[in-house]
Amino acid sequence: MSSTLSKIKLPYLLLLPGFLFLFTFFILPIVNLAQTSTQTPIAGGDTGQYEQSLRFANYLNAFTENKEQFGRSFLYAISATILALAIAYPLAYAIAFTAGKYKNLLLVLVIAPFFTSFLLRTVAWKQILGEEGFVVPPLRTLGIIGESTTLTSTSFAVIMGLTYNFLPFMTLPLYASLERIDPRTMEASGDLYANGLTTFRKVTLPLSMPGVVAGTLLTFIPAAGDYVNAAILGNPNTKMIGNVIESRYFKIVDYPTAAALSFTLMAAILILVTLYIRKAGTEELV
Amino acid sequence: MSKLKDASIPTIPLQARISRWFGRNMIRIYALFGFTYLFIPVAYTFAFSFNDSGKSNLIWKGFTLDNWQNPCGAPEICNALGNSIKIGFLATVFSTILGTMIAFAIGRYAFKGRSTSNLLIFLPMATPEIVLGASLLSLFLVFHINPGFWPTVIAHVVFCISFVVVTVKARIASLDPRLEQAAMDLYANEFQTFRRVTLPLVAPGIAAAALLAFSLSFDDFIITNFNSGTLTTFPKFVYVSAARGIPAQANVIGSAMFFLALFIVIAGQFIGRKARVAK
């Protein structure tokens, strides 16, 4: 009796410490952030002093003041996600189906750039694409880009940086789902007179959809909230919503607006992600 | 096989042969481009770790080994590195223990609230880092806890746990249940089965999770920036000095971390293969 009882309890005992921790340091902060988002400045108080109220106008103000940055965040994040998918899919495909015994080594190589600090790599891109790097001068000489055109401090550089930084997050789930595909399904498709493209469209791609969905989410979500790439590779006109939240917190000490912006960002991401998962039709994620 | 084919049809014109070769290897060529893209900044960072640059490492000025011989030469850099290692170590230990326990509960047992548990694990991964960092900072401020070392460790554990759970859970799911049944058939009790069979089988997953947690923690900037106050970590050091030029010593540390991690992963795979062969 007591042993069956402890068997029922065991999973809960295992969960308890971790969930207590997540409750205290993940759920509570989010709830607290929700409270902060409707606070008002104390009349006559110092900067950074706020009192609790239910001022939902914070949301409206935060959104209308930063529409541009919101739009840009999603535009950049979606572009980066599509680019990353275009680069990562063939990469994952090559590793899964043509690498043979080098599979594991190549997988390690996909993760390996991670180990050099991502900030160092982002700064490296800034210098590579900069005026003294090895990309701009030859392109100028060839006349591909004009004398006054620069590659750094542009939307192009920010999107490229985002694509670069989240590429492994796209590649690994894609690889995981491609690797699971039985190659015989593709052979069968070929036996039934499908050409390579049809086989890919009707067999490989549908079977790899869980990987596509997981990879796009793992790329899109962090990319939409990122501000490091925009700060290092961009200019004041390429600021993303992350840059606004960061400066509201640290430079302006406007906690309610920063909190409202954070929530709007999260809500927008959640809505997009839900729509996307519905459309892509996979429920295997969670 | 393909060689045989080529030899049996010797009359194919060169142009067609070349286009066929490209057709067959297109995916590999494409993958090569992908890898080049991934490694350009790594190679750049490594190359510029040998730059005789003085303070700002922007332009190539000549080859030197000074930076590698004196990696702490730039002010504050080793202090920042030390903080990152300490935080990474603590965050790895805590998140690996808590995450592994959760992974066993979710991966092994059917219980009420299992899908809610899965959701709670997924949520931190689906929350943008900036929201995680900002919300934790707000909480610390409410309780008058100053940002610094321990708040940063706590913040790192929050986002590492989910990745540990996912990694360990995947390993548990791939276990053959018959191995444990066999142990029980041979009169091992539950605890013995766990210690002698289950745990050794799951261990590679736990090791991978710990390595992942450490690299996530070590490399984190956004959440750290919100919760560390005046404490400097290695990514913060790089971010702050990016404005006026990063000292070459940062490239040395970045490159050394790269080779160290690569070594650990490859050695781990090698040991894993050897253990499998020995069985």
Place of tokens 């990696």: B71
Tell me the mean pLDDT in the region A63-85: 93
- Is the separation of the CB atoms in B227 and B147 below 8 Å? yes
Predicted confidence (pLDDT) at residue A155 exceeds the cutoff of 50: yes
| Residue B161 and residue B193 share a domain | yes
Three-state secondary structure string covering A224-257: HHCCHHHHHHCCHHHCCHHHHHHHHHHCCCCHHH
Contact yes or no for A33 and B261 at CB 8 A: no
Considering only CB atoms, B139 lies closest to which of A22, A32, A98, namely: A32
Contact yes or no for B266 and A108 at CB 8 A: yes
Within 13 Å, how many C-alpha atoms sit on residue B265's CB side?
24
**Average pLDDT over chain A, rounded to an integer:** 86
| Residue B59 and residue B121 share a domain | no
Element (DSSP H or E) covering residue B110: none
Among B68, B98, B116, the domain boundary falls at B68
| Residue B26 and residue B160 share a domain | no
B54-73 burial string, b = 16+ CB within 10 Å, else e?
eeebbeeeeeeeebeeebee
| Residue B221 and residue B85 share a domain | yes
Where would I find the H helices in chain A?
2-22, 28-36, 57-65, 67-98, 103-111, 118-128, 136-141, 155-179, 183-191, 196-199, 205-207, 209-225, 228-233, 241-250, 255-280
Q: What is residue A81's predicted lDDT score, i.e. its pLDDT? A: 96
Predicted confidence (pLDDT) at residue A135 exceeds the cutoff of 70: yes
Element (DSSP H or E) covering residue B97: helix B77-108
- Closest-CA distance, B111 to chain A, in angstroms, reads 7
Residue B22's contacts (CB-CB under 8 Å, 6 or more residues apart) are B29
- Nearest CA among B36, B265, B34 for reference residue A92: B34
Decide if A276 touches B, using CB distance below 8 A: no
Domain that holds residue B196: 75-246
- Is the separation of the CB atoms in A66 and A247 below 8 Å? no
Sign of CA dihedral B12, B13, B18, B22: negative
The pTM of the full predicted model, rounded to 2 decimals, is 0.86
| Residue B163 and residue B37 share a domain | no
Distance CA A10, CA A16 (A): 10
Distance CA B207, CA B226 (A): 29
CATH topology of domain A71-280: MetI-like fold (1.10.3720)
Give domain status of residue B258, yes or no. Answer: no
Residues in chain B within 8 Å Cβ distance of A11: 105-106, 108-109, 111
Q: What is the pLDDT of residues B20-49, one digit of tens each?
A: 777 778 888 888 999 999 999 999 999 989
- Nearest CA among A68, A70, A39, A66 for reference residue A52: A39
Decide if A44 touches B, using CB distance below 8 A: no
Give domain status of residue B262, yes or no. Answer: no
Contact yes or no for A128 and B41 at CB 8 A: yes
Q: Where are the domains of chain A?
A: 71-280
Domain count, chain B: 2
Distance CA A24, CA A71 (A): 33
| Residue B143 and residue B241 share a domain | yes
Give domain status of residue B273, yes or no. Answer: no
| Residue B88 and residue B24 share a domain | no
- Nearest CA among A108, A277, A137, A134 for reference residue A209: A277
Q: What is residue A83's predicted lDDT score, i.e. its pLDDT? A: 96
Among B68, B100, B122, the domain boundary falls at B68
Helix, strand, coil percentages, rounded to 5, for chain B: 80, 0, 20
**Average pLDDT over chain B, rounded to an integer:** 87
| Residue B119 and residue B188 share a domain | yes
- Is the separation of the CB atoms in B152 and B224 below 8 Å? yes
Decide if A270 touches B, using CB distance below 8 A: yes
Contact yes or no for B135 and A29 at CB 8 A: yes
| Residue B221 and residue B127 share a domain | yes
Give domain status of residue B279, yes or no. Answer: no
Give Cα separations from A54 to A38, B171, B178 (angstroms): 5, 47, 58
Q: What is residue B64's predicted lDDT score, i.e. its pLDDT? A: 85
Considering only CB atoms, A286 lies closest to which of B98, B122, B215, namely: B122
* Phi, psi values for residue A50, rounded to 5°: -135, 155
- Nearest CA among A84, A85, A93 for reference residue A204: A93
Greater pLDDT, B272 or A118: A118
Mutate to test the interface with A, among B21, B130, B190, B220 (most CBs of A within 10 A): B130
Q: What is residue B1's predicted lDDT score, i.e. its pLDDT? A: 46
Place of tokens 């006559």: A44
Distance CA B169, CA B167 (A): 6
* Phi, psi values for residue A253, rounded to 5°: 50, 40
Distance CA B153, CA B62 (A): 40
Q: What percent of chain B has pLDDT over 70?
A: 94
| Residue B129 and residue B82 share a domain | yes
Quote the distance between the C-alpha of residue B268 and its chain's center.
14
Partners of A50 in beta bridges: A41
Distance CA A218, CA A232 (A): 22
Give domain status of residue B22, yes or no. Answer: yes
Q: What is residue A286's predicted lDDT score, i.e. its pLDDT? A: 38
Range in A43-47, B13-17, B82-86, B184-188 the model is least confident about: A43-47
Among B37, B52, B68, the domain boundary falls at B68
Give Cα separations from B83 to A25, B35, B68, B78, B86 (angstroms): 21, 32, 20, 8, 5
